[in-house]
Amino acid sequence: MSTRIDPEISPDAGLAAADQAVLEIEDVDIVYRTSGGPLHTVRDVSLRIARGESYGLVGESGSGKTTLARGAVRFLPSNGSVTKGRVRLSGTDLLGASQNEMRKLWGARIGMVHQDPSAAVNPAMRVGNQLDEMGRTHLGMSKAQARVKSLEMLNRVGMPDPEAVVERYAHQLSGGMLQRVLIASALTTDPELLIMDEPTTALDVTTEAVILDLVQELLGSVRHAVLFITHNLGVVARVCDTVGVMYAGEVVEEGPVKTVFKQPLHPYTVGLLGAVPRLTAGKADLELVAIPGFIPRPDALPPGCIFAPRCPMVIDECRAARPQLVDVGPGQRSSCIRWVDVPEEAERPRPVRDTSGESFSGYGRELLEVRDLKKYFKGRGAGKGRSAAVKAVDGISARVTEGFTLGIVGESGCGKTTFIRCVSGLEEPTAGEVLLQGNKLAPSVTDRPYDALKKIQMVFQNPDVSLNPQRTVGDIIARPVQQLGAVPKAEVPQRVAELLQAVHLPQAYAARLPQELSGGEKQRVAIARAFAAEPALVICDEPISSLDVSVQASLLNLLAELQRSAGTSYVFVSHDLAAVRHISDWIAVVYLGRLWEVGPTARIFEPPLHPYTEALLSAIPIADPEIERERVRLTGSVPSAVNIPSGCRFHTRCPRKIGDICEREEPPWRDGKKDHSICCHIPLAELAASQRHALDGMYGSADAVGSAAPAPADTGVGDAEGSSTGSDTGAEVGPDTGAEAGSGRGGS
Amino acid sequence: MDQEQPPPITKPSRFKRAADVWGRVRRHPPTVIGLAIVVFFLLMAVFGPVIAPYKFSDQIATARLQGPSWEHWFGTDQFGRDVMSRLLWGARDIFLVAGFGTALAVLAGATLGLISGYAGRWVDEGVMRFLDVLLSLPPLLLAMVLLGSVGPSRFNIIIVVGVLYVPMVARVVRSVVLDIKTREFVEAAKLRGERGSYIMSREILPNALPALAVESSMRFSYAIFLVASLGFLGLGVQPPAPDWGLMVNEARSWFDQAPWMLFFPAGAIAFLIVGVGFLSDGMRRILWPTGVSE
């Protein structure tokens, strides 16, 4: 740190050497000064990214990935600093550079793309002007030159109609388009190092897939080195060459993506991979392997190996001394002293669901029926005269049988949350009815009798706001026990204790406040609260999407376990098809307020598929770099629910659109095998034939690689605006999901 | 930063939390100064009449309009009354009147804001438009009209301060309630069939308390100023009561001969308001730490 090196040492000096390191991080420690003393957030990390290499940094939240990346380029908050080690960017010492020199490097030689695109763009400035700043500040261009450059960059990131986009403001662009703008901005100066910090986490699955395609394509063509930070192993498998797994501020394993995913040699990597729900595993098959416990705080690290307290293969030596990263294979390094034994341990058969404890035997009785539910929100101030209604839910029917799970999937904005809020009574539906065990329910929750309330409970998406921060965990669980459970007052503590045990939380937690719990623990409390009065139906609104991978796995396991012991039915809403597959018996696919495909879980994952389901499936990044899938991509974003496209609502984005009929007529429901129905103009046999080949790759066979893709039809995003709301008679009723109760359930 | 820190193993005790709050107060000098000033004046309000060397109405005919001296630290006025004694006696009044006035405004305002925000629709419209009418009138003018019609007395001033500040408190509470009522723990309460009164008092109100506390302390500093202004205008407590505003008013006509008569009461008002202001800002930092950088 003391030697100051002239930052002008030519970065081009070693261009000839193909694997010249662009970013070298050596033994770096990063410390935050806090009121509770210094926090050693990153310790002894070394890594090296070569020209043209894309390095993926993965780990749970709190593992120090972002801190490391920001620390390396001196982009830390004022209380953070790099206290040890060396960082070089193509030979330039970054830690010795002055603030002024760094300011010139940021933007010019170091590009950054952040997580939330809407927060990274100034909402009061036209996108083009913002983009021009890069060229004007760092490349010394004139206003006109900069604009030319900006348009060129927007073209390069595949932005449709760049001339129009530069004149718009941030709120006029979708999240995916904004992220393209930011990538274009970061690439304007052709930086040597591009840091992408969770660039797709804030986006929808379908948008994520498109952005990842773009990133992958850019990586193939440029000479940048890329540091890609993500918690999603599937994303790493898609876009990275090398992967570094971080845990509690240290890199525990590193190596080429293909090698590490094929044969991870650190138990933490094994755990992360095991916690990801697979598209191939269904509800009855396997239990997800959750990593127990949580990341230690940087000021309370265990002695020896930092992963030891959570490690399934820990031995006494692990706790004795801190292990170092050692070479374990070509390019692969692991810090586990038992790395030799890791493959054997990972091969151990995954736990099969223990079904001996199943006590519930009432499967099959009908619990909930929703008939042609509609919810229109009054539009405000849009247009003159009578403002148009937002048709959030436009005729959805569904059935749930006792002890089963109905999964509802779709992109954000498709109406799935509004649907379940109407079922629970938090919103009053505009039309349609909700029947519980054959009895019609009042539309509003305030008019429903206790008896009905007791039977339907909800688990919400964000545990940070679903628990009252002022009440203790014990109070939070006790209240519904008293209110709905008809339990004598003296027995309430006993019941609270049982519930805490059921969600695997220690009894002592009853005295804690929510802020003293981690995200996963909070969600367990929320689940305990939902189960307090022994409900018949629990509606889960994206219950795991705000949580870490390893925590997601343990919550999915918990939900499945509770369902088996209590026979509770679930309506499980998520945008994550893999998670939905893991927990659901029946799946309904929603788009623009309607159902498009319904059926038993297994049927939803094999042809024939609705083209929308196909696109959703194809969009999921899979944590296996060996799998190459044919890509079905959706262009544009979900059309506004005010101006719903005519005919088939999906025609504006459908990659399999067959012609005018899609724009004119509402598609018919076509019944497939075993209660499986699809709403599409294309006959099922035809759909199946064109999809079978494409989907082979998803389940591991590499046959599909390089086969001719059915060329996606020109989808014409612009059509959305041109088409009128058209024939909306509301007569179309989706078929009943879960009809013929339970016949689809596998043999468990 | 996307860091999620695992929870501490033990639940912090009340004592530790208090210590934690004090720790944060201590690191912000303006808060400490504000706290010191307010405590000083509070002690004055409690013990003033005991330690004052003279009674507030004692007239010493031989010592009129005398400057500060060992005998009379803050000098004497035109009737030969000891200015410091009058200040010490008057502190209690200003605290009581401004304090009760604020308390009334907070109680009524919080109730209105809570109901209005939670009920929404026409209740909200009705309550808020009515409060808008109150807000649109110049406060001092409204106070003068009200006091002019009912006559000045301690009780009436308290009522007037309360009425004047109800709209401000109600608006603040309402905006916080609008935010909290959409949180999912409120929806969970609805799903288990809780009554509106339970949701308002047990689920929403505790979470609105920090905002309410900050607003109350701000209102208190405004109320002090309002009470002093009313005293100055002769609409407050009547002579010979040692009202600070009244003292400032009386001192005006003697300013060229006895400026100390003006400086000390005016200074006391200013100090107290600044002190409460600092304290209120400090409370905001501690209770609402988001967005405030150290």
pLDDT tens string A394-430: 888 888 888 888 999 988 778 888 899 999 888 888 8
Average pLDDT over residues A315-331: 85
Joined tokens for residue A518: 């981690």
- Name residue, tokens 């390893």: A550
Directed axis angle between helix B154-180 and helix B205-232, to 10°? 150
For residue A738, pLDDT over 80 is answered with: no
For residue A623, pLDDT over 90 is answered with: no
Please report which helix (H) or strand (E) contains residue A376, including its range: strand A366-378
Task: Please report the number of interchain residue pairs, chain A to chain B, with beta-carbon separation below 8 angstroms.
Answer: 87
SS3 B142: helix
SS3 B56: coil
Q: How far is the C-alpha of A318 from the C-alpha of A338, rounded, in Å?
A: 9
Looking at residue B115, its pLDDT comes to: 92
pLDDT interval class at B294 (50, 70, 90):
very low
Average pLDDT over residues A677-706: 66
User: In chain A, what percentage of residues exceed pLDDT 70?
Assistant: 84
Joined tokens for residue B116: 């209005």
Is the Cβ pair B183, A465 closer than 8 Å?
A: yes
User: In chain B, what percentage of residues exceed pLDDT 70?
Assistant: 91
- Name residue, tokens 């909700």: A434
For residue B215, pLDDT over 70 is answered with: yes
Instruction: For A158-196, write each residue's pLDDT tens digit.
Output: 787 888 888 888 888 877 888 888 888 888 888 888 898
Of A469, A484, A529, the CB nearest to B193: A484
Range with lowest mean pLDDT among A500-504, B151-155, B183-187, B221-225: B151-155
Q: How far is the C-alpha of A175 from the C-alpha of A188, rounded, in Å?
A: 20
pLDDT interval class at A733 (50, 70, 90):
very low
Pick the more confident residue, B97 or A358: B97
Q: What are the strands of the beta sheet with A537-541, ordered from one edge?
A: A456-459, A537-541, A569-574, A405-409, A586-591, A594-600, A677-679, A669-671
A429 φ/ψ sector (left φ>0, alpha ψ -120 to 50, else beta): beta
Provide the CA B122 distance to its chain's centre, in angstroms. Answer: 32
What are A206's strand-pairing partners?
none
Range with lowest mean pLDDT among A79-83, A340-344, A740-744, B159-163: A740-744
Q: A29 exposed, middle or buried (CB, 10 Å; 0-12, 13-18, 19+)?
A: middle
Longest Cα separation, chain A: 80
Is-contact A588 A595, C-beta < 8 A?
Answer: yes
Q: How far is the C-alpha of B166 from the C-alpha of A569, rounded, in Å?
A: 49
A465 touches chain B (CB under 8 A): yes
Q: How far is the C-alpha of A157 from the C-alpha of A165, rounded, in Å?
A: 13
Three-state SS letters, A204-233: CHHHHHHHHHHHHHHHHHCCCEEEEEECCH
Is the Cβ pair A458, B188 closer than 8 Å?
A: yes
Q: For residue A324, how many other CB atoms are within 10 A of its CB? A: 9
For residue B74, pLDDT over 60 is answered with: yes
Mean pLDDT for all residues in chain A? 79
Q: Which residues of A touch B190 (CB under 8 A)?
A: 426, 445-446
Instruction: List C-alpha distances in Å: A559 to A287, A343, A566, A586.
Output: 11, 30, 11, 16
Q: How far is the C-alpha of A470 from the C-alpha of A442, rounded, in Å?
A: 31
SS3 content of chain A, % helix, strand, coil (to 5): 35, 20, 45
Q: Which residues of A touch B192 (CB under 8 A)?
A: 453-454, 457, 479-480, 483-484, 533
Instruction: For B256-290, write each residue's pLDDT tens digit.
Output: 887 887 888 888 888 888 998 898 888 887 776 54
User: In chain B, what percentage of residues exceed pLDDT 90?
Assistant: 13
Instruction: List C-alpha distances in Å: A699 to A504, A574, A606, B56, B58.
Output: 34, 22, 10, 93, 99
Looking at residue B46, its pLDDT comes to: 85
Q: Which residues of B touch A461 (CB under 8 A)?
A: 184
A181 touches chain B (CB under 8 A): no
SS3 A697: helix
- Name residue, tokens 């206003």: A143
For residue B3, pLDDT over 70 is answered with: no
Closest by CA to A628, choosing from A563, A706, A529, is A706
B13 touches chain A (CB under 8 A): no
B181 φ/ψ sector (left φ>0, alpha ψ -120 to 50, else beta): alpha
Q: Which residues of B touch A115 (CB under 8 A)?
A: 2
Average pLDDT over residues A641-645: 77
pLDDT interval class at A387 (50, 70, 90):
low
Distance of residue B30 Cα from the nearest chain A Cα, in angstroms: 19
SS3 A172: helix
Range with lowest mean pLDDT among A588-592, A647-651, A689-693: A689-693
Of A61, A466, A517, the CB nearest to B185: A466
Of B2, B185, B193, the CB nearest to A453: B193
Of A470, A479, A511, the CB nearest to B207: A470
Structural class in CATH, domain B40-49+72-287: mainly alpha
Range with lowest mean pLDDT among A16-25, A380-389, A483-492, A718-727: A718-727
Q: How far is the C-alpha of A62 from the C-alpha of A298, rounded, in Å?
A: 9
Joined tokens for residue A151: 């348009």
**Sequence-distant (≥ 6) Cβ neighbours of residue A17 within 8 angstroms:** none
SS3 A9: coil
Is the Cβ pair A445, B185 closer than 8 Å?
A: no
Joined tokens for residue A134: 């890069």
Residues making up chain A, counted from first to last: 748
Distance of residue A463 Cα from the nearest chain B Cα, in angstroms: 9
Q: Radius of gyration of chain B from Cα atoms? A: 23
Torsion (CA) A293, A297, A298, A302 in degrees, nearest 10: -50
Pick the more confident residue, A70 or A642: A70
Instruction: For A107-142, write each residue's pLDDT tens digit.
Output: 888 888 888 888 888 888 888 898 898 888 888 888
Q: Which amino acid is at A58?
A: V
Looking at residue B50, its pLDDT comes to: 80
Q: Which residue of B has its CA nearest to A450?
A: B193
Of A425, A456, A467, the CB nearest to B185: A467
Distance of residue A578 Cα from the nearest chain B Cα, in angstroms: 24
Residues making up chain B, counted from first to last: 294
Is the Cβ pair A529, B8 closer than 8 Å?
A: no
Distance of residue A211 Cα from the nearest chain B Cα, in angstroms: 22
SS3 A439: strand
Distance of residue B196 Cα from the nearest chain A Cα, in angstroms: 9
Test mutation, A115, A441, A450, A468, chain B, max B CBs within 10 A = A468
Is the Cβ pair B185, A425 closer than 8 Å?
A: no
Provide the CA B205 distance to its chain's centre, in angstroms. Answer: 21
Looking at residue A736, its pLDDT comes to: 41
A residues 48..67 contacting B (CB < 8 A): 61-62, 66-67
Is-contact A710 A689, C-beta < 8 A?
Answer: no
Closest by CA to A682, choosing from A591, A611, A586, is A611
For residue A561, pLDDT over 50 is answered with: yes
For residue A636, pLDDT over 90 is answered with: no
Is-contact A45 A251, C-beta < 8 A?
Answer: yes
Joined tokens for residue A60: 């749970």
Three-state SS letters, A29-72: EEEEEECCEEEEEEEEEEEEEECCCEEEEECCCCCCHHHHHHHH
Global confidence as pTM: 0.77
SS3 A595: strand
B19 touches chain A (CB under 8 A): no
Is-contact A331 A299, C-beta < 8 A?
Answer: no
pLDDT interval class at A624 (50, 70, 90):
confident
Average pLDDT over residues A379-383: 52
Distance of residue A465 Cα from the nearest chain B Cα, in angstroms: 6
Average pLDDT over residues B171-190: 90
Instruction: For A267-295, write each residue's pLDDT tens digit.
Output: 888 888 877 777 665 555 556 777 777 77
Is the Cβ pair A198, B2 closer than 8 Å?
A: yes
Looking at residue B110, its pLDDT comes to: 93
Looking at residue A349, its pLDDT comes to: 58
Closest by CA to B217, choosing from B289, B138, B273, is B273
Looking at residue A178, its pLDDT comes to: 86
Whether omega before A655 lies within 30 degrees of 0, making that bond cis, reads no
pLDDT interval class at A744 (50, 70, 90):
very low
Q: Which residue of B has its CA nearest to A39?
A: B5
Is-contact A208 A619, C-beta < 8 A?
Answer: yes
Distance of residue A442 Cα from the nearest chain B Cα, in angstroms: 13
| H-only helix segments in B137-243 | 139-150, 154-180, 184-191, 196-198, 205-232
Q: Which residue of B has its CA nearest to A532?
A: B192
Is the Cβ pair B185, A468 closer than 8 Å?
A: yes
Pick the more confident residue, A636 or A147: A147
pLDDT interval class at A716 (50, 70, 90):
very low
Q: How far is the C-alpha of A442 from the C-alpha of A447, rounded, in Å?
A: 6
**Sequence-distant (≥ 6) Cβ neighbours of residue A696 within 8 angstroms:** A703, A704
Instruction: List C-alpha distances in Å: B268 to A462, B42, B68, B232.
Output: 50, 12, 16, 14
Report all structural domains of chain A as residue ranges with CATH numbers, in order of start: 22-240 (3.40.50.300), 261-347 (no CATH), 606-722 (no CATH)
Test mutation, A470, A538, A549, A551, chain B, max B CBs within 10 A = A470
Average pLDDT over residues A641-648: 80
Range with lowest mean pLDDT among A336-350, A511-525, B5-19: B5-19
Q: Radius of gyration of chain A from Cα atoms? A: 27
Looking at residue B105, its pLDDT comes to: 93
pLDDT interval class at B139 (50, 70, 90):
confident
For residue B229, pLDDT over 80 is answered with: yes
Q: Which residue of A has its CA nearest to B11?
A: A512
Joined tokens for residue B85: 């004694």
For residue A475, pLDDT over 70 is answered with: yes
Q: Which residues of B touch A518 (CB under 8 A)?
A: 4-7
Q: What are the strands of the beta sheet with A431-436, ordered from one edge?
A: A389-401, A366-378, A431-436, A439-440
Of B1, B6, B184, the CB nearest to A465: B184
Is-contact A541 A573, C-beta < 8 A?
Answer: yes
